[in-house]
Amino acid sequence: MSIFFKSTLVCVLFSTLVWSTQSQETLLEDLEEIAIVEHKVMMPMRDGIRLATDIYRPKAEGTYPIIFSRTPYNFNTWIDGKRNWRQAKTAYEYVKKGYVYVIQNERGRYFSEGEWDILGMPLTDAYDAFEWMKNQSWSNGKIGTLGCSSTAEWQMAASALDHPSHAAMVPQGFGAGVGTVGDIYEQGNWYRGGVEQMLFFSWLYGVEHDKFKPRIPEGATQEDLIRLSRFYDMGPKNPPVDMSEALTHLPIQDILKNMNGKQEIFDKMIRRKPNDPAWFEGGLYHDDMEIGAPSFWFTSWYDVSITPNLALFNHVRTNSNDDFIKDNQYLVIAPTLHCAYTRATENTIVGERSVGDARLNYDEQITKWFDLWLKEATNDFKETTPRVQYFTMGSNKWQSSETWPPENVSMQTFYLHSQGKANSRFGDGQLTKTKPLAEAADAFVYDPMSPVPSYGGNVCCTGNAVKGGAFDQKEMEARKDILVYTTDVLKEDTEVSGFIEAALYVSSDVKDTDFTLKLIDVYPDGSAYNLDETIQRVRYREGYDKEVFMEEGEVYKVDLTPLSTSNTFKKGHRIRIEVSSSNFPRFARNLNTGGDNYDEDEGVIANNKVHHSKKYPSHIKLPIAKK
């Protein structure tokens, strides 16, 4: 099993329920006492394809609401010849609470028939599944969807189908389901600012099945499938790969080929530009779709796509044509990595930084949410649950607000300053509220063959290539190809909660390059912990529907995709940003040629500049909370 795939399995959590101290065998026995269990029910889709489904329903007669999880991951009852009890725990908890729990593999995954394409399966699969479930004799006609990561990312577009039985959803860590929201064109986490996020290079190696995989013959019965599943779980395991080495290969279009991985889906995606029409087919949600269900969103500060996630929440609340949908959107923002909500403890460590007690009563809130919409229960969810619950790092506390950003913040502009020597933390870069007048630009050399390495950050699924979370950046900041701008020591606690906007005025001697930005909390002892990061490919500075290249000697304004955080910079700390042109392998390197980049194996050195003057006031805008 690859290093990556092991790390991905933690993202297969089908709910955020806390597991009890039940032993595996006791759990299975307890489940069988209260539930009718049906494995390998082959649910028919409109085109004749059948999707493998497990159903757990209360033994007591009656009709029940349904909790539905659909996933590309393996939930077979037997894995490697051993009983798989992971999903049994979730099933037990929901059956005990009076729900039917249904889990299904996506088309083309494991025992499900058809061909798989990451978020490319027809949306009709979701509609057909809802229709089949609501027509069962044990169904009360109401369905709630639940899951994290790839078990969540299909929910938004499915919600837009507006099936009358889809009564509520709980998407968690759902970034790869978001295509476009406003000016953000991530296309399922494939891009950030027009630059490939390399997580899917690793993820696809770990999870994609080969086109020559063995297949169950058409028409296999449920009995046959259950028997086969005891010794054959359809779960291939690719050989382990050192992703820290594998992701350095050039050209990037051959990375999976170089690992002997399956290439078909990757080959299609690596050639798509941010506005390619293919992104708008299949299962991605785009902001021209109408969310059709009350939604309880779960996000986290150190996940891949925190900004698009928050932008989607705001989009639904602001732009929905249905006041009922607008009013029934709720949000949690935890200080954790991808899908790690329930791993918060009394002393939660994210990377190297402690954020204190970050626990929250997730189970209680989710249960009340589903009870409200699926059982029409009279409960106090809406009275006791804040619209937005967000954890503020630094002060290490949960806070609440009716909006995101919170109502009590105001945007304050901080300008970049130096005398042309902001290179490294030993330079003279400053961040102040004073507008610059006449200052020399800061120059640095970006060599794509020696990029700035990713160290911590808002990441997922890259195996051993990048560790997620907050790590001390001060050693990294000794590099001359990182520009460092820092405020004076803060005289009072300063809370930054919301979207961080940044505009850089840049120039270069190449046709195209990238600019990166990282937000840092600097402690009195010099430790410098990263909060969020972003990047922009300069050719897309005027929009993702066109490429506009640079000319040497010209200065261009680059607006970066906003960052997001909630962090209290304590008295005695300093606020810092880093600016460079690479963050690798979190993001693919720009080879600076102006070419397609994905099919190139040689780069050219870029001499890049960041300008800060009266004419070119490079700056960031911080959402600072009023006391």
Tens digit of pLDDT for each residue in 554-609?
Answer: 999 999 999 999 999 999 999 999 999 999 999 999 999 999 999 999 999 999 99
Q: Which of 218, 175, 215, 223 is nearest to 197 (CA)?
A: 175
Every domain of the chain and the residues it spans: 3-401, 409-625
Nearest to 171 by CA among 371, 348, 310: 310
316 within 8 A of 156, measured Cβ to Cβ: no
Superfamily of domain 3-401 in the CATH hierarchy = Alpha/Beta hydrolase fold, catalytic domain (3.40.50.1820)
- Please indicate, yes or no, whether the overall pTM of this predicted structure exceeds 0.85: yes
Structure tokens at 96: 């005990």
Tokens of 392: 């503020």
Q: Please name every residue paired with 296 in a beta bridge, in sequence order, or none if there are none.
A: 330
Q: What are phi and psi of 6, to 5 degrees?
A: -60, -45
β partners of residue 516: 535, 580
Q: Distance between CA atoms of 51 and 298, rounded to whole angstroms?
A: 27
Distances 350 to 39, 304, 393, 560 between C-alpha atoms, Å: 38, 14, 11, 25
Has residue 3 got a pLDDT over 80?
Answer: no
Nearest of 484, 438, 463 to residue 612 by alpha carbon: 438
Summarised one tens digit per residue, pLDDT across range 340-350 is 998 899 999 99
Helix-strand-coil percent breakdown of the chain, rounded to 5? Answer: 20, 30, 45
Q: How far apart are the C-alpha atoms of 507 and 504, rounded to whole Å?
A: 10
> What pLDDT does residue 251 have?
98
pLDDT one-digit tens code per residue, 437-470: 999 999 999 999 999 999 999 999 999 999 999 9
Closest to 305 (Cα-Cα) out of 284, 276, 326, 288: 284
Determine the topology of domain 409-625 in CATH.
Answer: Jelly Rolls (2.60.120)
Helical ranges in 416-500 per DSSP H: none
Confirm if 185 and 191 have CB atoms less than 8 A apart. Answer: yes
Sign of CA dihedral 262, 263, 268, 270: positive
Distance of CA 415 to the CA centre of its chain: 30
Of 558, 560, 543, which Cα lies nearest the Cα of 608?
558
CA angle (320, 325, 328) in 5-degree steps: 130
Lowest mean pLDDT among 212-221, 280-289, 445-454, 594-603: 212-221
